[in-house]
C-alpha cells in the first residue's frame, strides 16, 4: 500500500489565519487530561498562541462574511440542473444556524483572555524556563488540585471556543470539498497554474518520494517547487506525478 502525505497551502490571508486557528484548536485537546507540567504548558502555550491570533484581526467578522459568501455560492448552485436540492438546503440551514450562534456568542476568546491563571502563564511563556514552580507557584498549586477540578476548568475554557470551532469546521469542510483532486505532473520539480480565485491548494504526494512542496502565489496564480527532504543527497525526478485540488 502506498502512503500519501496531504499538504495544504493557503492562497490568501484569511485562509492562512483559519488554518492556523484550526491547528491550534486541535493542539488544545492533544494532551488532555492535564496531569503534569508538560501537558499543562503544551495547553497554555496553544491558548496563548490562539489569543495572539485573535488579537491580530477580527476573526468573528471574517467568519460571518465567509458564512454569507458560502450561502451565496449555494444559492447559485441551487439553480444548476440535476443538483441535489435537499443537500443544498441542508447546508444552507447549517450556515444560517452557525451564523446565528456565532453572532449571539460572546467575543471570541474573551473568557480565556480574562482568566487569571491563563494570563499569569501567558506572561511567563516567553521567558526560558519561566514557568517553573518558583516562577509560577499558582500553576504549581493548580497542578496539585484534584484531577476532576482541573478537568472541569479545562472543559469550561474549551466550551467557550465551541461557536468558533463549529463555524470554522463547517467553513473549512465546504472549502476543502469545493474541488476534486486531479492528477498532475511536474517537470524538473516545477509546476505552475492559474488558481481561478481559489482559497486553498491541497496536494497529495507519495511518501516514498521524500519530497515536499514549496508553494508561492495567490488566488489567481501559483507556482510549486518540489524539494527533497534530504537536501544534499535527495533526487527530484524529471517527471513527478502528484494529486492537486484548487479549492
218-244: pLDDT as tens digits: 777 999 999 999 988 888 999 999 999
pLDDT tens column, 109-168: 999 999 999 999 999 999 999 999 999 999 999 999 999 999 999 999 999 999 999 999
Q: Which residues of 51-65 are buried (b: 16+ CB within 10 A; e: fewer)?
A: bebbeeeebbeebbe
Mean pLDDT of 61-79: 90
**Model pLDDT, residue 195:** 79
Please report which confidence band the pLDDT of residue 25 belongs to, taking 50, 70 and 90 as the band edges. Answer: very high
Backbone angles phi, psi at 183, to 5 degrees: -70, 130
Choose the weakest-confidence range: 40-44, 135-139, 209-213, 229-233.
229-233
Could you tell me if 41 and 142 are in contact, meaning their C-beta atoms sit under 8 angstroms apart? no
**Model pLDDT, residue 81:** 76
Q: Where are the domains of the chain?
A: 31-177, 182-246
**Model pLDDT, residue 88:** 87
**Model pLDDT, residue 57:** 84
Could you tell me if 157 and 32 are in contact, meaning their C-beta atoms sit under 8 angstroms apart? no
Q: What is the spatial distance between Cα 121 and Cα 116, in angstroms, rounded to a whole number?
A: 9
For domain 182-246, give the CATH number.
Answer: 2.60.440.10
**pLDDT above 70 covers what percent of the chain?**
99
Superfamily of domain 31-177: YacF-like (1.10.3900.10)
Across the chain, mean pLDDT equals 93
Mean pLDDT of 166-185: 95
Choose the weakest-confidence range: 37-51, 77-91, 176-190, 208-222.
77-91
Amino acid at each position: 500500500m502506498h502512503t500519501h502525505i496531504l499538504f495544504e497551502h493557503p492562497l490568501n490571508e484569511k485562509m492562512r489565519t483559519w488554518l492556523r486557528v484550526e491547528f491550534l484548536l486541535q493542539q488544545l485537546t492533544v494532551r488532555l487530561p492535564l496531569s503534569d507540567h508538560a501537558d499543562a504548558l503544551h495547553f497554555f502555550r496553544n491558548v496563548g498562541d490562539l489569543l495572539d491570533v485573535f488579537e491580530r484581526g477580527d476573526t468573528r467578522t471574517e467568519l460571518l462574511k465567509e458564512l454569507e459568501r458560502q450561502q451565496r455560492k449555494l444559492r447559485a448552485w441551487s439553480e444548476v440542473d440535476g443538483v441535489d436540492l435537499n443537500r443544498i438546503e441542508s447546508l444552507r440551514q447549517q450556515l444560517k444556524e452557525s451564523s446565528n450562534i456565532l453572532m449571539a456568542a460572546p467575543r471570541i476568546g474573551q473568557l480565556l483572555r480574562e482568566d487569571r491563571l491563563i494570563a499569569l502563564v501567558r506572561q511567563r511563556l516567553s521567558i526560558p524556563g519561566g514557568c517553573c514552580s518558583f516562577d509560577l507557584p499558582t500553576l504549581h498549586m493548580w497542578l496539585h488540585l484534584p484531577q476532576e477540578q482541573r478537568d472541569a476548568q479545562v472543559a469550561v475554557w474549551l466550551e467557550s471556543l465551541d461557536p468558533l470551532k463549529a463555524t470554522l469546521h463547517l467553513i473549512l469542510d465546504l472549502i476543502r470539498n469545493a474541488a476534486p483532486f486531479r492528477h498532475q505532473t511536474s517537470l524538473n520539480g516545477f509546476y505552475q497554474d492559474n488558481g481561478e480565485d481559489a482559497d486553498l491548494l491541497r496536494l497529495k504526494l507519495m511518501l516514498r518520494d521524500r519530497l515536499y512542496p514549496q508553494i508561492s502565489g495567490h488566488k489567481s496564480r501559483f507556482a510549486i517547487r518540489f524539494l527533497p527532504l534530504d537536501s544534499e543527497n535527495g533526487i527530484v525526478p524529471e517527471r513527478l506525478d502528484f494529486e492537486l485540488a484548487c479549492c
